[in-house]
Chains A and B, each alone.
Chain A
Amino acid sequence: MERTRYFTFARRIIGNLFRKPATVGYPYEPVEYPERMRGHVEIKIEDCITCGLCARSCPSQAIRVDRKAGTWTINRFDCVQCGACVRGCPKKCLFMAKGYTEPDVTKKSDTYTKPHDEEKEGKRGEEKPVMDVTKCMYCSLCAKKCPQGALEVNRKELVWKVDREKCIGCAVCALTCPKKAIHMEKG
């Protein structure tokens, strides 16, 4: 049984009268954010290959990717800042930035459009997966992971085919392959 006392908190209260406040005058005073803070999602749009893996991994379905128009759209009010898209991105063009986005009265989306770069376009189009027949065991993991469904693997007939029209050169197949049988090659 603890004994009863009076005015136990008085010393602390008097001390607090002469101390600096524990709060800061945000937003007039800037706040220092820690290095790992998940504030909002940013994109380096010039590196994006519009594969759509981020949209697929997003639990709140806040991201839309339009391949034809070359746009990447995020609804800032649906986004829950979990960072799943950042981990899902094969090109590492997404990253979590510090600081929060501005408040607003309407739910608005931010759209980023890929810059039209002929030279880059051509280069990216050239990079396609090539398979080493000696290493491949036709496990079809690459086909399962392909965001565009551009690969066709048939284990019985030992067929490995890539649809060059559909393929976007994201290299997810090369990263997935357990035997490292796939590499990216021009032409």
Chain B
Amino acid sequence: MAKRSIVPFGPQHPVLPEPVHLDLVLEDETVVGAIPSIGYVHRGLEKLVEKRDFKQYPYVAERICGICSCGHGLGYCMAVEEIMNIQVPERADYLRTIWVEMSRIHSHLLWLGLLADAMGFESLFMESWRLREKILDMFDETTGGRIIHSVNQVGGVQRDMDSAMLNDILRAIKDIESQLKPVINTFLQDYTVQSRLKGAGVLSREDAIALGAVGPMLRASGEPYDVRMLGYGAYKDLSVEPIISTDCDSYARCEVRLKELLQSFDLIREAIGKIPEGSINVSVKGNPAGEYFVRIEQPRGEAIYYVKANGTKYLDRFRLRTPTTSNIPPMVEMLKGCQLADVPILILTIDPCVSCTER
């Protein structure tokens, strides 16, 4: 047996946008085990729910993560609305859905850029992020913020979009879609990309389910599971089909995310076509009492929001199970047997969001 050694990986590493630490157990160049540890960016945002008015907390919830901020605000608001039996106006549901799908596009484009960067494909990285910039500009125009949107509130949304803005969004996604074609072709067909991704980090369907993988990670292992199918928000009226791949490797994960980008374009077009007129929020009276679980599909996978209220304006507990938390055990499994040089790419294929995980 080859001599075992432990190589520390992270928390500071060129490929990691956020700090996570792994102790890699190596036999020569082969990884035989990985021990993850987190705790570098804990901010105590869950605890803050006891000190802030429940109507103020969406602003805090949004700041849990810079990439899925819209989804976090939405998940929290949905949970409180369920506790208080608030029926959100149809238009607000549609607006929320459009913004959440836009943030999926921006998250996936960001991930594609990071993946290209991890492979050393700098021009592809720049191209992906240039396209992402158009979505950020649309966020800036429609919500007033590029990253933190502050549009969700308990009872609906704060800002409406007029038809000119909706047309701007349609124009922007058409523009992105046309420019995305060479990017998709490169990711799926280029020899350089394929040689780095094909066959790397295979996670079988059984392992993915047993270890609790979620999101594109699970769907790339062939399991058609997408929380949007539950029909929350405006998804009940839209045609959502889970996008799956059966290759189970890093290439499959990349393929799933690329196809989800195209799906998001279609969903936004469909939602803009069907958006009803009407009010965008309802007034909220009284304080919540009770508890509720909400599941929503974030760009990285299923996120679970738990809210417990005690009848005062301060909540008892807010708990968030993020997709990255549940994707870490499959990642550790996936790392076993790979080469040390592949580790950065494999860690990146789960699309780790450490700020979400630690809150």
Contact with A along B45-73 (1 / 0, CB 8 A): 00000001100110110010000000000
Partner of B127, one of A12, A81, A83: A12
User: Closest CB-CB distance, A33 to chain B, in whole Å?
Assistant: 8
Contact residues of B: prevailing secondary structure: helix
User: Which chain A residue lies CB-closest to B179?
Assistant: A12
Does chain A have a CB within 8 A of B185?
A: yes
Q: Chain B residues with Cβ under 8 A from A59's Cβ? A: 52, 56-57, 59-60
Complex contact A9–B182 (CB within 8 A): yes
Complex contact A8–B159 (CB within 8 A): no
Q: How far is the CA of A116 from the CA of B133 in the complex (A)?
A: 47
Complex contact A87–B143 (CB within 8 A): no
Interface segment, one of A34-42, A44-52, A125-133: A34-42
* Given A59-B52, A84-B56, A36:B144 Cβ within 8 A: yes
Q: How far is the CA of A7 from the CA of B150 in the complex (A)?
A: 43
Q: Chain A residues with Cβ under 8 A from B124's Cβ? A: 9
Please report which residues of chain A, range 9-56, place their CB below 8 angstroms from some CB of chain B when the two chains form the complex. 9, 11-13, 16, 22, 33-38
Complex contact A5–B191 (CB within 8 A): yes
Q: Chain B residues with Cβ under 8 A from A35's Cβ? A: 141
Q: How far is the CA of A83 from the CA of B59 in the complex (A)?
A: 10
Does chain A have a CB within 8 A of B158?
A: yes
User: Which chain A residue lies CB-closest to B52?
Assistant: A59
Complex contact B194–A37 (CB within 8 A): no
Does chain A have a CB within 8 A of B190?
A: yes
* Given A12-B182, A36-B141, A83-B144, A6:B191 Cβ within 8 A: yes
* Given A12-B127, A36-B159, A96-B144, A22:B133 Cβ within 8 A: yes
User: Closest CB-CB distance, A115 to chain B, in whole Å?
Assistant: 30
Q: Which of A33, A34, A83 has the most CB of B within 10 A?
A: A34
Q: How far is the CA of A9 from the CA of B56 in the complex (A)?
A: 47
Does chain B have a CB within 8 A of A156?
A: no
Does chain A have a CB within 8 A of B85?
A: no
User: Which chain A residue lies CB-closest to B142?
Assistant: A36
Does chain A have a CB within 8 A of B163?
A: no
Does chain B have a CB within 8 A of A3?
A: yes
Contact with A along B128-153 (1 / 0, CB 8 A): 00100100010011111100101000
Does chain B have a CB within 8 A of A57?
A: yes
Does chain B have a CB within 8 A of A82?
A: yes
Q: How far is the CA of A29 from the CA of B159 in the complex (A)?
A: 30
Q: How far is the CA of A82 from the CA of B189 in the complex (A)?
A: 43
Q: Chain A residues with Cβ under 8 A from B142's Cβ? A: 36
Complex contact A8–B190 (CB within 8 A): yes
Complex contact A9–B190 (CB within 8 A): yes
User: Which chain B residue lies CB-closest to A81?
Assistant: B145
Q: How far is the CA of A37 from the CA of B150 in the complex (A)?
A: 11
Q: Chain A residues with Cβ under 8 A from B145's Cβ? A: 37-38, 81
Q: How far is the CA of A37 from the CA of B130 in the complex (A)?
A: 21
Q: Chain B residues with Cβ under 8 A from A34's Cβ? A: 137, 140-141, 144
Complex contact A37–B140 (CB within 8 A): yes
Complex contact A8–B189 (CB within 8 A): yes
Complex contact A8–B186 (CB within 8 A): yes
Does chain B have a CB within 8 A of A102?
A: no
Please report which residues of chain B, range 186-238, place their CB below 8 angstroms from some CB of chain A when the two chains form the complex. 186, 188-191, 194
User: Which chain B residue lies CB-closest to A7?
Assistant: B190
Does chain A have a CB within 8 A of B178?
A: no
Does chain B have a CB within 8 A of A80?
A: yes
Q: How far is the CA of A5 from the CA of B182 in the complex (A)?
A: 12
Partner of B59, one of A6, A16, A33, A80: A80
Q: Chain A residues with Cβ under 8 A from B159's Cβ? A: 36
Partner of B189, one of A2, A37, A87: A2
Q: Chain B residues with Cβ under 8 A from A3's Cβ? A: 189
Complex contact A13–B123 (CB within 8 A): yes
Q: How far is the CA of A123 from the CA of B143 in the complex (A)?
A: 38
Instruction: Please name 7 pairs of A and B residues whose Cβ atoms are closer than 8 Å in the assembled complex, sorted by A.
Output: A5-B185, A5-B190, A8-B185, A9-B182, A59-B59, A81-B150, A82-B148
Closest 3 CB pairs of A and B: A36-B144, A38-B144, A59-B56
Listed in ascending order, the chain B residues whose CB lies under 8 Å from chain A are 52-53, 56-57, 59-60, 63, 121, 123-124, 127, 130, 133, 137, 140-145, 148, 150, 158-159, 182, 185-186, 188-191, 194
Listed in ascending order, the chain A residues whose CB lies under 8 Å from chain B are 2-6, 8-9, 11-13, 16, 22, 33-38, 57, 59, 80-84, 87, 96
